[in-house]
Structures are given as C-alpha cells and as structure tokens.
Amino acid sequence: MNKAKIEILWNKYEGGEKLAIVKVDPKHVSRVKRNPNFRFITNNLQHWIELSATAPFLDEKPRFSGLVPEFRLDKYHPLSEVELFLYEISKRGNARVLDIGLSHEGRHIKAVEILNNPNDSRFVWIDGCTHAREWITVSTALFLIEQAIVSRSKVNFIIVPVINPDGYVYTWTVDRLWRKNRRLPPTSQYFTRDECYGIDLNRNYDINFGGEGSSRDPCSHIYQGSSPFSEPETSAVAKLIWAMRHKIKLFLSLHSFHQLWSCPYAFTKAKNPHFDAHMEVLNSVRDAIYKTSGEIYNVGPLSTELYIGSGFSLDWTYAKVGIVHSYLSELRDKGVYGFMLPSNQIMPTALETWAGLRVAICKIFKVDC
C-alpha cells in the first residue's frame, strides 16, 4: 500500500491495535481488497454517507409478536427467550419444533417446520447464528418464522434460528464478539487462551475442506476443525439437509454484517454453472430491498463480493447436495456498528430481508406473491 493514497475517516485503538475506516482511490481498490489487513466496506462511499446521515427508521411503538403475546420482535433475546418463543410457536397448527441434535455443550438445536401447503413437498430452508456474535440473524430468523406463519405464504419452511447455541449463550454471558462454537482446544497447552476454543462452523462443511480462507490453527477465528463435520452442530444441520435434499428448493444462511446477498462459490472465484439464474434472483432481491427500505445490498458470488472461504454451508448445499438455489446473506450494516447493530435496526433489517426473501420465493417456486 506504500504508494496508494489513503484517507483515514475513523479510527480507534483496541487492545493495542489500531482500527481504521479508510477511503482509497478507486484505482487502488482491487489492491486493498487483496490485502488481508483490510476489509472492504463499500464502493459507493457517498451513498453510504448519505444513508447514515438520514435518521434510521424508528418504530416508536414496541413491536410485539402477533403470535406470542408479550414477545418483542424488536429486541435481542437470550437463548432461553428464543426457546420460549419457539415453544409457543409449536402450539400453532401448521408449525412444529424439532430437536435436530445436540451442541457440543449439550444444548438442543431446534428447527421450526412450517407446513403452509402440505400438498407441496417443497421447502425453503433458513438458518441463523452460525456465528455467535451475529445477533441480528437470530432476530431476523424469528421474524421470518412469524411471517412464514402469518403471511399465508403458499410454501413450506424449515427454519433453524440458532445453529450455534453454545456460542450464542457465550456472547450473552462472557464475550459479545465470540464467533466460533465452544469446543475445547485440541491440547491442554491452549486451555488458558480463550481464542483457542471453538471451531468456525462455516469452515467445517465438506466442501474444499481446509482450503483457502480457512485455518488449521485452533486459535484462529476461522479454524476449520479436525475434519469435515467434526462438529455436532454442523453434522446435525447437514443430516437434516441431506434428509430433505429433494425437498429444499431454496437455501438461505443468514450472517452479518456487510449488506450482501451472495451465491456460490465461496471457495473459488470460478463462475458456478447456475450463475445467470442466481443473478436473476439476486437482482430482484436487491431491488425489493431497496424499494422497502432504501438500503443498498450488494449481490454476487461470495468469493468475489466478500472473500474466498472454504468449508462454507452454501457451497456444500450447492455443489454436494444439489440445491441449486443456495444463498448466503450478510445483513446490516456496512460497518458502522457491525455486529453490535442497535436494536432500533432490528425491524428494518427483518422487514427488508422478508421483502428480499419473498421475491426470491416467487421466482424460484413460481407461486403468486
């Protein structure tokens, strides 16, 4: 970066490290994107600044669930409250809650099956909280569960709001920015170093395992684990997906943050064989979101829009399971609050995600919306 002109827009020191948001001349952008010390936020800074300057949509009234009285959809909830919501949901006629497996620490991983159209065998899959600190994915998944039930959607859903319950609990009790699951380190020499606990669940799927964008260092935040599906969380999810492989027609994994809807591949920049079909869906999703909230989401293959990574669920479902429409969305924001997204952005994020999802469903399932 020695010759590139960099303007520092914001910076702070954290744990002895200097963090900064910088503006780079467009001709140096591709170089910055390749540099692992930089994380790319936006190529349209002016628009980003304008959007952050406008007051965010603020729902003055608390937004309660229409199905579970007293449950606020516009708040973040610890795991116990999430489970209470799911329990109440399970009393609905067309929904049931399944225990699909146990986490490393023995918590139940729960999926909600919503049968809106029992005569149709096709399903939409949605999951959240693969990465523990991405709280907005849990709130959004709960809102999508509610919408899937109340909107009289004509399609069936299977939604796993918290793939990583151990990590999620840890973010509420010890470290808000925890990412991985909570498996013990491989050897006792690491027991005193917290960063050496856990496996990055989105590096643990059986696709290009151990390749670029993953790590074999247990102390890395992108540690891939000892082998594909070594983790109880990923193997539980994979087992259910595999069992439903002929039924799931749309797979969407929720993450944050970056404001991006992406398609395969993550592990290579090579174009996937369904690129045109994916982009047709993604462009409609982007437009629907913009129409709903005015927010800009980028769209495209994960490897070119974000970074290269191996062992991702969307690549596994696409390339190994055969779910053509496999996507990963990075929800709000573009890096102002990052993982600590304020709760007044929960509803706007959930609503725009539902708008995008609805359009994707219309295109893929060819149903009236």
User: Hey, what are 64's tokens?
Assistant: 């309660």
Q: How far is the CB of 284 from Zn ion (least distance, A)?
A: 24
Q: Which of 29, 10, 6 is nearest to 19 (CA)?
A: 10
What sign does the CA torsion over 348, 350, 351, 355 have? Answer: positive
Binding mask 93-132 for Zn ion (x = CB under 5 A): --------------------------------------x-
**131 vs 332, beta carbon nearer Zn ion:** 131
Q: Name the minimum Å distance from CB 238 to Zn ion.
A: 17
With tokens 């600190």, the residue in question is 133
Helices (H), the chain: 29-34, 45-53, 79-89, 135-150, 165-173, 232-243, 275-293, 302-305, 313-316, 346-365
As given in the structure block, the two tokens for residue 150 are: 């109340």
Applying CB under 5 A, does 332 fall inside the site for Zn ion? no
Residue 330 annotated in active site: yes
In the complex, the smallest distance separating the C-beta of residue 26 from Zn ion, rounded to whole angstroms, is 28
Q: How far is the CB of 176 from Zn ion (least distance, A)?
A: 15
Q: Judge if the upstream peptide bond of residue 127 is cis by omega within 30 degrees of 0.
A: no
CA atoms within 13 A on the CB side of 283: 6
Tell me whether residue 254 or residue 359 sits nearer to Zn ion (CB atom): 254
Cα Rg of the chain (Å, integer)? 20
Instruction: Supply the minimum distance, in Å, between the C-beta of residue 170 and Zn ion.
Output: 15
Q: What distance in Å separates the CA atoms of residue 279 and residue 260, rounded to the nearest whole number?
A: 13
The span from the CA of 336 to the CA of 322, in Å, is 37
One residue of 180, 255, 278, 332 binding Zn ion per CB under 5 A = 255
CA distance 204 to 235: 9
- Binding to Zn ion (CB under 5 A) within 126-145 occurs at 131
Region near Zn ion per CB under 5 A, out of 59-67, 224-232, 239-247, 255-263: 255-263
- CA neighbor of 160 nearest in space, from 101, 91, 119: 101
Q: Structure tokens of 156?
A: 């069936």
CA distance 52 to 334: 10
180 or 286, CB closer to Zn ion? Answer: 180
**CB 33, min distance to Zn ion, A:** 19
CB closer to Zn ion, 97 vs 314: 314
Of the residues 231, 295, 330, 352, only one is catalytic, namely 330
**Binding residue count for Zn ion, defined by CB under 5 A:** 2
Give me the active site residues, please: 330
Contact residues: Zn ion, CB under 5 A: 131, 255
